[in-house]
Structure 1
Amino acid sequence: MTHSEGPGGHPATPTMLPLFPLRTVAFPGVHLPLHIFEPRYRQLTLDLITEVVPDRLFGVVTIADPTVQEVEDLAHVHPTGCATRLREARRLPDGRFDIVVTGHRRFRLVDIDAETTPYLRGTVEWVDDEHVPDGAEDAASRLADACRVAHRRYCSVAWESDSWRSPPPDTPSETLAYQVISDCLLPLSDRRELLEERHPLRRLRLAYHLLRREAAFVSELGAVPPSQHEADETLLRPNPN
């Protein structure tokens, strides 16, 4: 089991977070729209809005078995998740919510509490990146440039419009892989692999290969996926809970 470390290399103190099991993967630094209709997650949303939940943070974990109707223990979800922070919320007349959250930090789930609150809570250990050795700046820059080229290529063949945009030039190399891959439709297994990769350079390399592979598939099949970057400005395509 991989443990996160706090300052000085000491094991980090476990943290309790509300949990939202979904059939998707949240990435640090990437916006995710959600449509909230279950009563327990309506309550979670209210607790986030009113900051009953500290820092408006909750954890998104990926459901491991598509046949599972009710997540109750660790075996039902993948252990690596992403804490997300509520960014925007719109309450609908019938009590449902459309919200946008932003990925904050990866964690490893070590325990689930299904009794204390209407929604799940989990004990998590934060998972940070491995250290990149001094002198690796040139390699990181080359990989970042290659990822941006692969991202432009993918978007040019996958999208019918030219409304997509590249990540800002000042996007840190640690989060660039998440940014470029968020525009790409991928199997959950690929998204999980990207989230679980702790080395920034290996993560950039993985994103580069995934973008090239998907661009080739789209070119061959002529399939056009929807744009995901529009979550920055709109709540129009939320994922249901």
Structure 2
Amino acid sequence: MTDAIPLFPLGTVLFPGVVLPLHIFEPRYRALVKHLTQQPAERDREFGVVAIRRGTETGDHDGTTLYEVGCSAELRQVTSHPDGRYDVVAVGRRRFAVVAVDTDSAPYLRASVDWLPERSDPAELRQAETLVPSVLAAFRRYLRELAHVAGPDAVSPEAAQDQLPDDPAVLSHLVAASASLSVADRQRLLAEPDAAHRLRGELGLLRRETSLVAALSAVPAALTDFQVPAGVN
């Protein structure tokens, strides 16, 4: 099914279930938030987040290219300021593929999207469940190495207390969003068709990142601390 939704390009990748705080100051994205808050109560206040392949979050989007797969975000909290800015909190909801981008019908970008449900092949579901213990173990090793190198504050209290999910899909999204990965790495994980493929990819990435942290005695990229960082827009 193809739907039209507002589109919000960001320099990060959003995953289902992950919290996304944003500070909104550009006029076009103020208009987007205003549009969403004026929707009837029974309608979802949902917009699309797509990572920027080349370009910047601010300024003219001419020459900016976006990745083909994104994640919708549901607006949960909105704080308005007297000068028209907003602080908002959204939560990742469902993945989509961009079919076409509309630059003319609104002050902000809009896109026709096809929703990408998780593939539900029984064999892949069983494989995902089988992979969970290995990914949990690899993620915990990675977090311990981060804490050793960067200090305990580099790891969230939830991880430090071993409060990690064992649901394959939830775990795959949490690892992808919170490990110190590049946008390209995260984007590849977002585009995977199901949890089994994401978890298999994450095993290799976690081993690579753990080895890098141990070898360099430093974190090779900024930590996300179990949350997508606030975008500046």
Counterpart of 2:11? 23
Whole-Å separation in 2 of the counterparts to 1:79 and 1:135: 24
Residue correspondence of structure 1 range 35-184 to structure 2 within 5 A: 35-51=23-39, 54-66=43-55, 70-71=60-61, 76-133=65-122, 137=126, 139-159=127-147, 160-161=151-152, 163-166=156-159, 172-184=167-179
Gaps of 5+ in 2: none
Report the 3-state secondary structure (helix = DSSP H, G, I; strand = E; otherwise coil) of the residue aligned with 1:63.
Answer: strand
Larger deviation: 159-168 or 144-153?
A: 159-168
Q: TM-score, normalised by structure 2?
A: 0.83
- Whether the 8 Å CA contact 1:147–1:204 is kept in 2: the answer is yes
- Whether the 8 Å CA contact 2:53–2:65 is kept in 1: the answer is yes
Identity among equivalent positions (%) equals: 37
Is residue 2:223 matched to residue 1:226?
yes
Q: Of 186, 211, 215, which residue of structure 2 is paired with 1:216?
A: 211
Report the 3-state secondary structure (helix = DSSP H, G, I; strand = E; otherwise coil) of the residue aligned with 2:157.
Answer: coil
Aligned AA for 1:228? D
1:47-68 C-alpha deviation (Å, 9 max, x unpaired): 2233369411000112222379
Report the 3-state secondary structure (helix = DSSP H, G, I; strand = E; otherwise coil) of the residue aligned with 1:229.
Answer: coil
Aligned AA for 2:177? S
Q: 1:59 to 1:67 in 2, by over 3 A?
A: closer
Aligned AA for 2:226? H
- Whether the 8 Å CA contact 1:157–1:215 is kept in 2: the answer is yes
Gaps of 5+ in 1: 1-12, 232-236
Counterpart of 1:4? none
- Whether the 8 Å CA contact 1:17–1:123 is kept in 2: the answer is yes
Counterpart of 1:186? 181
1:79-125 C-alpha deviation (Å, 9 max, x unpaired): 11111111222234433222221111111111111111111111101
Q: 1:45 to 1:228 in 2, by over 3 A?
A: farther
Is residue 2:199 matched to residue 1:204?
yes
RMSD value over aligned CA atoms? 2.6
Whole-Å separation in 1 of the counterparts to 2:8 and 2:195: 26
Whole-Å separation in 1 of the counterparts to 2:212 and 2:82: 42
Counterpart of 1:240? 232
Report the 3-state secondary structure (helix = DSSP H, G, I; strand = E; otherwise coil) of the residue aligned with 1:24.
Answer: coil
Larger deviation: 39-48 or 221-230?
A: 221-230
Whole-Å separation in 1 of the counterparts to 2:125 and 2:109: 41
Whole-Å separation in 1 of the counterparts to 2:205 and 2:186: 10
- Whether the 8 Å CA contact 2:11–2:231 is kept in 1: the answer is no
